[in-house]
Chain A
Amino acid sequence: MTLAAATNENLANISNVLIYSAMAVYTLAFFAYIAEWLFGSRSKVARTAAALTAGPAGAKQAPAVTANQAGGTAVLERPKVTVRASAGRRDVPDGPGAHGGDAQGDLYGRIAVSLTVLAFLVESGGVLARALSVERAPWGNMYEFNITFSTVAVGVYLLLLALRKNVRWLGLFLITTVLLDLGLAVTVLYTASDQLVPALHSYWLYIHVSTAIFCGAVFYVGAVSTVLYLFKDSYENKLATGGRPGTFATSVLERLPSSASLDKFSYRVNAAVFPLWTFTIIAGAIWAGDAWGRYWGWDPKETWSFITWVAYAGYLHARATAGWKGRKAAYLALLAFGCWLFNYYGVNIFVSGKHSYAGV
């Protein structure tokens, strides 16, 4: 018994060391991303203005997309598909990314991604060691939530990169908040490792909490791109109406994808996790039914999950409702994410309910 306790304590210490190491590597990655942005600023990219002044909004044609050319026996080239932007959308090309086409910037960007991968692995190790030390899933208190949450958020980002999605521009914003999240975790929220109270012993814990953390990470990615969409959209609006944005705004926003792409990306991200978020709430209800004798009781945490859910449903409806697309829908998405954040931090800290256990 004491031997096991000692190993557990050892593991907990290893976990702490790994988390601090991950923070160090994330910090290096952070600087590398900064370098990518700095070097990228040397190149002068002004596609947006060029695209916007070349013709009236929406009347231009996107480059033709080459159709599937597999099956090498075709005698002639296969037909190509011409794609158009739909009406009411500005047809602006995506920016080149943070490196701005600058080779050195790109190099730093690659270094940053490699460091992010390394930090991700170290942090995963830290989370795993924590889980082993407490002999359960590492989701018993807010410290553990935080370290798992940032690991998953970075994991989602790396997964999108691995799928060859154009998301490297997210890197700096993501790593900044990951560092904040971890800083908060190790300073304010740290809780010595321990086992769970019996109310938390349930396989629904694994299901409900893991999906909740995953959804949060994805919603977070969606929220970041929504904010960037809002900036980029007003930038494009300004250009389209003949305004002159500041040099800093130009330098940063020129390198991001077009507002239409950002908008689409955040919609996809949010829409893709919404069914999983629905599932998370239902799994929570089932667990509550087993643990507390009622599956829905308007406990503050339940209430805020519901509010978050309704807010995201409102966002999806807004996208399908004429007159609410674009910026208005984006504000709704941010509001919905705000609800999620409040549910995560606010409810644990300010409101007492059945969900507050294991010391914050």
Chain B
Amino acid sequence: MSKTTASEPAPPAPEDQDLGAAGSQLSTAPTEEPAGLPSLGVIGWARWFWRQLTSMRVALLLLLLLSLGAIPGSLIPQSGQDETKVADFREGNPTLGDIYDKLGLFHVYSSVWFSAIYILLFVSLIGCIVPRTWQFVGQLRGLPPGAPKRLTRLPAHTTWRTTAEPEQVHSAALALLKKRRFRAHLAGDSVAAEKGYLRELGNLVFHIALIVMLVAFAWGQLYKSEGNKLIVEGDGFSNTLTQYDDFKSGNLFTPDDLVPFSFNLDKFTGTYERTGPNKGTPRTYQAALDYSTGPYGKDRKTTVKVNHPLEIGDAKVYLVSHGYAPVITVRDGKGEVVYDSPVPLLPLDSNVTSSGAVKVLDGYRDPQGKKEQLGFNAFFVPTFGGAASGTMLSQFPALDSPVLALSAYHGDLGADSGIPQSVYQMDKTNMKEFKDSQGKLFKKLLRPGETMTLPNGAGSVTFGKDVKEWAGFQVVQEPGGGWALTGAIAAIGGLAASLFIQRRRVWVRAVKGADGVTVVEMAGLGRSESAKVPEELGELAGTLYDRTPAAPDADGPADSPDPDPDPDQEPGHDTPVPAEGAEQQ
């Protein structure tokens, strides 16, 4: 117990070389080389640059740069997320906006410099993984290195004397270590064993998985497509480019990539909190669909909710918005129906106060029999506060007391002008107002089932009893998701193995001492300093001790920890072995 060491600084022992071999290759981490400048022309520089790029130090710097580079994107509005915010920002700060534009700060994550950081990082990563993989394969094929000369210098060490022969100790040690799943072999006068290769494997798997995830993500971005479609209850959709209201896609996307499917919206259901401070907050939001996949697929029923998209192949159908579509019937002066259709209106607030336009493009003739178009500005509230409330705004999102306000126009809607028009807005340039008896714009509040008669026998408008609902769907195709997920799972597994498993070596040396008694020495070395290595060594030593009967000690207790096999060894030469990062010294 009382091994007091001398306090002089230890001169470097020549045996350090010897231990270096025993402690080497305990991982595949690259050695850090001094950053000496190259002298040899282009190739020398290239090589120097490559070595720098694939060094751990540069990997670390690149990692830090990556996190630093990600920050501005979280603070400055990004065009990929919110185009209007970017526009607002540009308007508010024109000079700053220009500078940001030049630096790509409105689209940080696709900017040149951000891409440069992560591409460099991944080049570095590949440059790091490839040699490490070969090195690891080499280590698996080779055998654990033999014992260093003096095991006492290792971080954990123990010794005892036994009556057994050295060969017996060796075979007992081999059997024991192999049973504990060490790779063990006899090298000279000692058994060398190693365990925990899974750590290295996990580490390599983790870094490779990072590459898989990046490639999958990039792939997904390039082939991504994303479209929106508003559908009124009872209507359908089939997945072709022309059917979308709007559509965005990645650079390599082609319309042929769209997954073939179609669906009908049977019913939308929304329920809302009735009481309490959060009155009006949506509680359920779901759309019942009838869908079929492929050109001749079978019809199936499903429900799409927030958080629960419908998945068809690579495509996912999300429920993203909802509103009301009053059914409007327009008759001309003779009572002929010229328009009969639900009109989807856009919500303006969380209580679904909505607005939109009804456009009668064809089939209407005015009382004189002249062809004309009709237009109505529509304003709709699902829950009207009553005339006394003094507001036209909706009081609740559900259809408790719906009211539709229409104002009427006639003339030319300009639909043939070739300029694309919003369905929800009326171009009033060539429209004339219908006038009421006071000469003001003709408008009316209607309850479901009510009809308003246009002035001068121009016809009538009926607000249908049944108010339909519409749902907005987003159809997203982002291939590579499965790969990204596989990569992510592999990354977690590899990471856990790399962080929780210790790679460590154990040596057992048994030699006959001068007095003819066998001296057993055991030592353990881990990659990092850890209580586990001595613990495990103690346990192994205990078992081996039980199998190799103890010899009575000549001079002192059996567990005297100082039978240094090297008799001419000065105690001061006992320099401890650097365990953590031994191979980096």
**Interface residue A289 (Cβ < 8 Å from any Cβ of B):** yes
> A81 touching B63 by the CB < 8 A rule?
no
Give the distance to chain B from A310, nearest Cβ to Cβ, in Å. Answer: 4
Question: With an 8 A cutoff between CB atoms, is B60 at the interface?
Answer: yes
CA distance A77 to B580 in the complex (A): 31
A78, B559: Cβ atoms under 8 Å? yes
- Is the pair B474, A88 in contact by a Cβ cutoff of 8 Å? no
Shortest distance between the CB of B462 and any CB in chain A (Å): 34
Q: With A199-B307, A307-B71, A322-B584 given, is the CB distance from A293 to B60 under 8 Å? A: no
Q: Among the listed stretches B269-277, B365-373, B386-394, which one makes contact with chain A, having 4 or more residues with CB under 8 Å of it?
A: B269-277
Stretch in B36-44, B254-262, B532-540 touching the partner: B532-540
Please tell me if the beta carbons of B59 and A317 are within 8 angstroms of each other in the complex: yes
Tell me if B559 and A79 are in contact (CB < 8 A). yes
At the interface, yes or no: B414 with Cβ under 8 Å from chain A? no
Choose from A55, A282, A293, A300 the contact partner of B309 (Cβ within 8 Å): A293
Whether the Cβ atoms of B71 and A272 lie closer than 8 Å is no
Decide yes or no whether A313 CB sits under 8 A from chain B: yes
Residue pair B60, A86 in contact (C-beta under 8 Å): no
Bound Cα distance from A218 to B306, whole angstroms: 32
State the Cβ distance, B8 to closest chain A Cβ, in Å.
Answer: 8
B32 and A76 within 8 A (CB) = no
From B182-190, B192-200, B401-409, B481-489, give the one contacting chain A: B481-489
B320–A86 CB distance below 8 A = no
Q: Which of B46-54, B231-239, B282-290, B437-445 lies at the interface?
A: B282-290
Tell me if B538 and A88 are in contact (CB < 8 A).
no
Mask, B1-30, CB within 8 Å of A = 1, is 101110111100000000000000000010
In-complex Cβ contact of B73 among A55, A274, A303, A310 (8 A): A303
Identify 20 residue pairs between A and B in the complex whose beta-carbon atoms are under 8 Å apart, listed by A's number: A58-B576, A64-B1, A68-B535, A68-B539, A71-B546, A76-B550, A76-B559, A83-B155, A86-B578, A195-B273, A287-B307, A290-B307, A293-B476, A294-B478, A298-B108, A298-B109, A303-B71, A307-B70, A310-B66, A313-B63
Question: Considering only CB atoms, which chain B residue lies closest to A88 in the complex?
Answer: B578
Taken together as a complex, chains A and B put the C-alpha atoms of A69 and B59 apart, in Å, by 46
- Residues 96 to 121 of chain B near chain A (Cβ within 8 Å): 108-109
List residues of B (142-164) whose CB comes within 8 Å of A's CBs.
152-160
Chain A residue nearest in CB terms to B496: A275
What residue of chain A has the Cβ atom nearest to residue B64's Cβ? A314
Interface locus among B75-83, B132-140, B446-454:
B75-83
In the complex, what distance in Å separates the CA atom of A285 from the CA atom of B213?
Answer: 12
A78 touching B545 by the CB < 8 A rule?
A: yes
Task: Provide the residues of chain A in CB contact with B157, threshold 8 Å.
Answer: 81-82, 84
| A206 is an interface residue with CB less than 8 A from chain B | no
CB of B92 within 8 A of chain A?
no
Partner of B542, one of A65, A78, A192, A304: A78
Contacting B156 at CB < 8 Å: which of A5, A82, A299, A310?
A82
B558 CB-CB contact with A under 8 Å: yes
State the CA gap A289–B477 with chains docked (Å).
11
A5 — nearest CB in chain B belongs to which residue? B275
Q: Is the CB of A198 within 8 A of B578?
A: no
Is there an interface contact between B3 and A82, defined as CB atoms closer than 8 Å? Answer: yes
Q: How big is the B interface, by class?
A: 35 or more
Which residues in B have their C-beta under 8 angstroms from that of A74?
542, 545-546
* Interface hub of A79, A87, A279 (most chain B Cβ within 10 A): A79
Q: Given A199-B306, A286-B485, A322-B584, A304–B74 Cβ distance below 8 Å?
A: yes
Q: Which residues of chain A have a CB within 8 Å of any CB of chain B?
A: 5, 54-56, 58-61, 64-71, 74-89, 192, 194-195, 197-199, 201-202, 204, 264, 271-272, 274-275, 278-279, 282, 285-287, 289-300, 303-304, 306-307, 310-311, 313-314, 316-318, 320-325, 332, 339, 347, 351
For window 516-544 of B, CB contacts with A under 8 Å fall at 522, 529, 534-535, 537-539, 541-542
Contact between chains at A81 and B74 (CB < 8 Å) = no
In angstroms, how far is the closest chain B Cβ from the Cβ of A318? 6
Is there an interface contact between A194 and B529, defined as CB atoms closer than 8 Å?
no
B499, A274: Cβ atoms under 8 Å?
Answer: yes
Q: At the interface, yes or no: B67 with Cβ under 8 Å from chain A?
A: yes
Q: Is B191 an interface residue (CB 8 A)?
A: no
Please judge, given known A-B contacts A278-B491, A323-B57, whether A61 and B3 are in contact too, CB under 8 Å: yes
The answer for the CA separation of A85 and B154 in the assembled complex, in Å, is 10
**A67 pairs with B81, CB closer than 8 A:** no
Known contacts A61-B3, A65-B538: does B277 contact A197 (CB below 8 Å)? no
Partner of B281, one of A76, A197, A274, A294: A197
Within 8 A of A (CB), among B540-585: 541-542, 545-546, 549-550, 557-559, 561, 575-581, 584-585
Residues in chain B near residue A279, CB distance under 8 A: 492
Which residues of chain B are near A325, meaning CB under 8 Å? 580-581
B548 CB → nearest A CB, Å = 10
Instruction: Out of A201, A285, A296, name the residue touching B307 (CB < 8 Å).
Output: A201
The answer, yes or no, to whether B90 is at the interface (CB within 8 Å) is: no
Specify the chain B residue showing the minimal Cβ separation from A290.
B307
Residues of A within 8 Å of B320, CB to CB, are 293
Residues of B with C-beta under 8 A to A297: 80-81
Beyond A68-B542, A82-B3, A293-B320, whether A317 also contacts B495 by CB under 8 A is: no
Q: A296-B217, A324-B60 are in contact. Are A82 and B561 (CB under 8 A)?
A: yes
Q: When chains A and B are docked, how far (Å) is the Cα of A311 from the Cα of B65?
A: 10
CA–CA, A147 to B446, complex, Å?
Answer: 51
Residues of the B chain whose Cβ atoms lie less than 8 Å from the Cβ of A295? 478, 481, 484
Flag if B67 contacts A300 (CB, 8 Å). Answer: no
* Residue in chain A with minimal CB distance to B478: A294
On whether the beta carbons of A314 and B60 are closer than 8 Å, the reply is yes
| Nearest B residue to A286, CB-CB | B485
Bound CA–CA A199/B283 (angstroms): 10
> Is B93 close to A, CB under 8 A?
no
Please indicate the chain A residues that have their CB under 8 angstroms from the CB of B70 in the complex: 303, 306-307, 310
- Closest B residue to A84 by beta carbon equals B576
Q: A290-B307, A314-B64, A321-B60 are in contact. List 20 more A-B contacts (CB 8 A).
A: A59-B5, A61-B5, A69-B542, A78-B542, A79-B159, A79-B559, A80-B559, A82-B3, A84-B155, A86-B579, A264-B529, A274-B499, A278-B491, A290-B308, A291-B307, A292-B318, A317-B56, A317-B59, A321-B56, A321-B57
State how many angstroms separate the Cβ of A194 from the closest Cβ of chain B.
Answer: 5
Once A198-B284, A275-B495 are accepted as A-B contacts, the answer to whether A81 and B581 lie under 8 Å apart by CB is no
Q: Say which residue of A197, A278, A317, A318 sits within 8 Å of B492 (CB atoms).
A: A278
Bound CA–CA A314/B56 (angstroms)? 10
Smallest CB gap from B285: residue in A:
A198
Closest to A303 in B: B74
Q: Shortest beta-carbon distance, B469 to chain A, in Å?
A: 16
Residue among B57, B60, B316, B541 with the highest chain A CB neighbour number at 10 A: B60
By a CB distance below 8 angstroms, the chain B residues around A59 are: 5, 7, 9-10, 575-576
Q: B63, A77: Cβ atoms under 8 Å?
A: no
A79 touching B160 in the complex, CB below 8 Å, given contacts A5-B275, A65-B534, A324-B60 = yes
Does B412 belong to the interface (CB within 8 Å)? no
Q: Is the CB of B499 within 8 A of A272?
A: yes
* The residue from A55, A285, A318, A351 contacting B74, defined by CB atoms under 8 A apart: A351
Tell me the bound Cα distance from A299 to B283 in angstroms: 25
Q: How far is the CA of A65 from the CA of B158 in the complex (A)?
A: 10
Docked-complex contact B576 and A87, CB < 8 angstroms: yes
CB-based contact B559/A290 at 8 Å = no
B210 to chain A, nearest CB (A): 10
Q: Let me know if A298 and B67 touch, CB within 8 A.
A: no
- Shortest beta-carbon distance, B21 to chain A, in Å? 17
User: In the bound complex, how far is the Cα of B500 from the Cα of A271, in angstroms?
Assistant: 9
Measured CA separation A203–B8 after assembly (Å): 63
Asked if B158 contacts A86 (CB within 8 A), the reply is no
User: B578 contacts which chain A residues (CB < 8 A)?
Assistant: 86-88
Complex CA gap A286/B307 in Å reads 10
Across the interface, B7 reaches (CB within 8 A) one of A56, A77, A80, namely: A56
What's the Cα separation between A313 and B538 when bound, in Å? 33
Also in contact, A317 and B63, with CB within 8 A (given A87-B578, A198-B305, A293-B318) = yes
Flag if A293 contacts B32 (CB, 8 Å).
no
